[in-house]
Structure 1
Amino acid sequence: MLDDFLIKMETTSFFFLFCLCVEGLTAKWSMFLPEDVRGDFGNDVVLPCNFTSPFQNYTGPVTVIWRRNTAFSGSQILKCSSEKMQGDCSKTVTDDRYSLSGHLRENDLSLRIKATTLGDEGKYFCRVELENSNDSFEKREGTELIISVPRVLESMYVRTYESGQQFVTCDVTGRPPPVVTWTEPANISSTMISVKESVTTASYSVPVYVRNAKYTCQIHDERRPQQRSLFLHELPESGAARHPEVQAMWIGLPVFMAIVNLLSISFTVSIILVALCKNESKGGGSMKSDAVQSSTYQPPHELIQNDAIYVNE
C-alpha cells in the first residue's frame, strides 16, 4: 500500500511539473488596446497600449513603434528604442506632438498626442520588438481616435458693413455646431437670422433694427445653457448735424483766422518799412545840412579886409 501511494505521488508531481514547463514554453504574446478613444479638440490625448510577452524576465533591448491608418505597413509616427527594458526610450522617428506616455518597465507603451486636431482622427496601431527580430508583436486591430469639439458660445460682437448697415453676430463652436437662439430683443423672426456654418464653427447674425436695447443669444448643451448679451445705445448726433449754423460757423472760422493772420503780418511789415524810411530820411537831411553849411560859410568881411584889426605875431 505504501509503495502504491508513493508511486501515485511521484506521478502526480511529475505531471504538475510537466504542466508548468509546458505552460512556460507555450506562453504567448498579448496586447491590450481599447477599441476607441475620445479626445477633446485642442487638448492632449493618450492612447493606451499594454503588452505581455513569453519572456517574463526579459531585460534586453526593446523598440516601440506606433503607426497610423494600417497595421504592419502604416506610416510610423513614433519609433523609440531602449537598451534595457527598464530604461528610457530614445526616439528615432520623432515629431514633437507624439511621445511615449507609458513606462517600459511596466510594459506600458501608451502614446500621447499633443494639441489634437480633427486631422488626428483615425486608426492607431502599437508594436513592440525585442532583441530578436522574430520576437515582436503587433495587433491587427488598432485603436480608433475620435475628436470631440466642445459646444461653446465663443463671442458676440457688432459688425458694420460699408453700406453702414450693422449686424449683431454670435460665434459658436461644436461638432456639429450648436443652434443659436435669440431671446432679446423681442420679435426677432427666423427670416431675420443669417447663418454661416462649417464642420465645427457657425456664425449667427441679426440686423440691428432697434437701439437702446439689449441683444441676447444663447445655446443649450449637455452641461448647461450658455448665453451672451450686449446693449446697443442710440448713436448721438453730432453738434454740427443738429445745428447747421454751428457747422457753418466752424467752417468759416479757419478762413477768418487766416485772414487776420495775413493782415497782422502785413501791418507789421508796413510799420517796419515806415520806420526804416524815417531813419533814412533823417540821416540824409543831416548830411545835406552840413554840406550847405560848410559851403556857404565865409569869414566876416571886416576880418579879411582890415589886417590892422588882428595881427598874429
Structure 2
Amino acid sequence: MPSISHAYQQPTSTLTVQGETAALPDAPEKGTAPPVQAIQRGFECQLEIRQGEARKMLRGDSVWLNDLITVINRYVESQLRGEPKGTFSGTVAIRPLDFIFHRLTVRQGEEGIAQVDLSMTQLYDLLENLTQVATDIPHLSSLKTQPVRAWYRQPTGIAALVVGGIAVVAGVGVLATRTPEAENQTANRVQEQLTTPTSLESAETAGQETAPADSRTLSADREADVDDLDLLSRLREQLADQWQSPPDLQESLVYRVTVDATGSLLAAEPANELAQERLGQTPLADLPDLPPDPLPTGAEQFRVSLDPDNQLEVTQD
C-alpha cells in the first residue's frame, strides 16, 4: 500500500503528516508523490517546535491533530477578542501564562503529558501550519488510527491542567524559552491582579475602624461570604467559557463541584444517572467523583447545572 508524507513548514515549527493510501487506478507518474489528500489510513503526525537551538518534538494521530486544530483555533479567536482564556479539547489544552507566552499541554500516548511554552510568533506559526493541513485533509476526523482509551478516563486529565492552572511535572522536558527574571515579573503581575480592589479595601478598612470589638465574628462571617461569592463567580466564568452543550441535550446535567481556596476544581459528583452518562461531554470529565477527605482548608462546594443551549447555573451547595 503506497505511503504518503508531507511537511508543512513555518519559521518556528514544522508539522509532518504521513499515512497510507490505497493503490489508485490513475497512479501518479513515477517519481511523483501522491497528494496528501489521498491519505486514507494509518495516519500519524509529528510537530517540531523550535526556539533558537532548542527543539521540542510532539507526536500524535488524527484524533490528537483534530484536538490541536480545534484548541488552537478557539484560543487564537479569544486572543483576537482581547480575552485570552484557557481552552481544552480532548488530548490538548492551552492557557495564557502572561502577555507573551502561552502554555500548550498535550497528551503523548496513554501515560505521558508534554508541555511547551509558545511565544506569540510560535503560536501564529503553529496556527498557519494547522490551517493548511485542515484545508488539505478535510476528512481528517474520519481517518483510521489506532484505538485509544477515552482521554477523560486516562490519568492526569488535560482539562484540569488548563481550568485549574495546575503545574505538571511532565515525563518529557519542557522547552525553556523564558528567563527567571521574566518568571518573577509575571508572578508579580499576577499577584497584583489578584489583590482586592481599592474600593473594597477602603470599605473593609472603614468597617473595621467603626466596628466594636464584639462584632469581630460578624466581620469574619462577612469576609467568608465575600470569599464564597468570589469562588462562585470564578467557577461560573471558568465553566461558561468551556461548556458547549451537545446538540441532542434536552435536560440539564447537574453536578456537585468542589473547588479549593484558589478556585481550582477538585471533584465533580454527578447528581443523577444522566449526569453520570454525559460526564465525558462536559468540562468536568477528568475530575474524580468524590472530593478529598478531609476537604482542604478554604475548599467550597457548589451546585453546577449545565443546561442546553450552552447555558449554565452555579449556586452555593
TM-score category of the 2 structures, normalised to the smaller one? under 0.3
Structure with higher helix content: 2
Which has a greater percent of strand? 1
**When the two structures are superposed, what TM-score results if normalisation uses the length of structure 1?**
0.22
Asked which structure has the greater CA Rg, the reply is 1
